[in-house]
Amino acid sequence: MSHPNVNESQLATYAAESARGRPRDPQVDERVRLATLDLLSEKGFADTTIAAVARRAGVGAPAIYRRWPTRIALIENAIFPGFDQVVVRPTGDLRHDLKRYVDAFIATFDQPAARAALPALLSVYQSDPESNALMGLRIGGSVREPFREMLAEAASGDGNLDLNSDDVLDMLIGSVVFHVFIRRFSGRDMTGDYIVELLARAVTAGPAAS
């Protein structure tokens, strides 16, 4: 899926800024990450400031700023460390492979720190469309090509996989967000397995009749 407001140079700049001076000491990175997660879980988004993280981690604020240029970048890095771990060789079994992606996204979103941070981050992004688009790429960007390859591999066995792979991944992420943040208030029981079944039926249904 393309994002018209974000180009490759912007993504490269964002990545470079987020990694500035890092890692001089991997132990500092980990202490800061864990301190950020702890503060988000205990105090919430508003109180997870650079100063508070520095105190909790036992490092100076300049050490944090050398690695993450803003509080938002720090929090993003802590709760969304990347989805490379879900990039796995396709098995050709659509439901099995979809379940691995669904489980990985649920594990990332359904942790206390992410539940505290994501709604607030989405609110912040409403006033900054460029950051909003960058976040969309960050959440799913690293897995879009492997996900496309997984669907293509499954197509050899299941046939009518006609939906765009980016649309399917967006459906997956949206369903997981509903599962984690909204389901408990809706009275509806949407399990990870149910999400897998919905997606599998959607992508194997073939084109709609005209």
Mean pLDDT of the 145-150 span: 89
pTM: 0.75
Name 183's Cβ contacts closer than 8 Å, sequence gap at least 6. 189, 190
* CATH code for residues 80-210: 1.10.357.10
At residue 80, the pLDDT reads 81
Cα diameter, the chain: 63
At residue 4, the pLDDT reads 41
* CATH code for residues 1-79: 1.10.357.10
Q: Where are the domains of the chain?
A: 1-79, 80-210
What whole-number distance in Å separates Cα of residue 49 and Cα of residue 40? 10
